[in-house]
């Protein structure tokens, strides 16, 4: 079969024989394949290229989770050490409760919901916070066992009144209206009401503070301190030794305060603790204060 090409661009008609025709078709086919490959490459490159920048945050998230996991494992090791010390002092066998002993678990087989990275991070954060709380509680328990019996632990009420105007924990700030963490408990009363030392110790601070107002801080040893803020008058000086129940200041409303009250804190290694961990309830606070005044 011959194909005759006629065009104004050609000086004469061109006749293509079978051989020339086969060559032309082969060339067109090759060009088509090359063009198709180029388009496929462009499409694939458009699909693949955005994935590379996304790969970096995924690895970064994994690395961040690995760091948090390492911190949590370190806290678990500390908890194990504290548990063993408490066990040796109390005679309790703590072996079944150590972190390297998986707790037996079971239940019905359920499909469940897969976790994404955000949910896993949140759960890891919750576990980390729980580990911090357990560390505080175990450390305080160890402290109670290690400290000699007597008046060295701040278990006495700083005031005879058990009326509390604000508790330990999150609350709305009375000045800004924003949610803030209150690091102590507040007791209300008339100006001039005696404030007592919660335990024996040495006066580490007794002066005016920009926010605490007139404040006394007592060092009870073993990393424990107590603070008494907003006083109208201070009755001790830095370096003084005080006994449990001794009057160290008078109630007032100095510093960042909306009215007469005592802001009372207990700190362990400079970290604020809930004073009710030392005295279990306000009734016990009243009872301990009454006993100290007898």
- The pLDDT > 90 percentage for the chain reads 27
**Residue-level pLDDT at 194:** 96
Q: pLDDT band for 32, please (50, 70, 90 cuts).
A: low
293 against 175, higher pLDDT: 175
* Distance, CA of 66 to chain centre: 16
Mean pLDDT of the chain: 75
pLDDT in tens, 120-145: 778 788 787 777 777 766 766 766 66
Per domain, the residue ranges of the chain are: 3-48, 51-100+117-146, 164-293
Alpha-carbon distance of 228 to 237, in angstroms, equals: 13
With a cut of 60, say whether residue 243 has pLDDT above it: yes
With a cut of 70, say whether residue 174 has pLDDT above it: yes
With a cut of 50, say whether residue 293 has pLDDT above it: no
pLDDT in tens, 5-31: 444 554 554 454 555 545 545 554 454
**Residue-level pLDDT at 245:** 93
User: Which architecture, in CATH terms, is 164-293?
Assistant: Distorted Sandwich (2.70)
pLDDT in tens, 192-209: 999 999 999 999 999 999
Q: pLDDT band for 264, please (50, 70, 90 cuts).
A: very high
Highest mean pLDDT pick, 34-38, 108-112, 165-169, 267-271: 267-271
* Distance, CA of 144 to chain centre: 25
pLDDT in tens, 73-114: 787 777 777 777 777 767 777 777 777 767 666 767 777 777
**Residue-level pLDDT at 144:** 65
């Amino acid at each position: 079969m011959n194909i005759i090409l006629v065009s104004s661009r050609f000086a004469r008609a061109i006749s293509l024989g079978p051989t020339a025709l086969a060559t032309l078709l082969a060339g067109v086919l090759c060009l088509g394949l090359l063009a198709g490959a180029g388009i496929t490459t462009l499409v694939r490159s458009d699909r693949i290229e955005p994935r590379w920048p996304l790969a970096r945050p995924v690895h970064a998230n994994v690395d961040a989770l690995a760091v948090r996991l390492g911190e949590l494992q370190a806290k678990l090791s500390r908890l194990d050490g504290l548990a063993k010390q408490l066990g040796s002092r109390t005679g309790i066998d703590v072996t079944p409760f150590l972190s390297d002993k998986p707790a037996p678990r079971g239940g019905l087989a359920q499909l469940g919901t897969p976790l994404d990275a955000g949910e896993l991070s949140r759960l890891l954060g919750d576990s980390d916070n729980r580990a911090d709380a357990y560390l505080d509680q175990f450390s305080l328990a160890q402290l109670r066992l290690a400290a000699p019996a007597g008046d060295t632990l701040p278990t006495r009420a700083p005031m005879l009144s058990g009326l509390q105007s604000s508790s330990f924990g999150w609350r709305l700030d009375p000045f800004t209206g924003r949610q803030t963490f209150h690091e102590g408990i507040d007791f209300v009363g008339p100006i001039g009401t005696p404030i007592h030392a919660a335990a024996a110790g040495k006066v580490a601070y007794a002066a005016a503070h920009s926010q605490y107002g007139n404040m006394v801080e007592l060092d009870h040893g073993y990393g424990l301190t107590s603070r008494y803020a907003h006083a109208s008058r201070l009755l001790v000086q830095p370096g003084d030794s005080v006994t449990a129940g001794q009057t160290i200041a008078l109630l007032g409303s100095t510093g960042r305060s909306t009215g007469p009250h005592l802001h009372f804190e207990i700190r362990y290694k400079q970290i604020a603790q809930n004073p009710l961990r030392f005295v279990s309830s306000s009734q016990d606070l009243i009872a301990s204060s009454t006993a100290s005044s007898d």
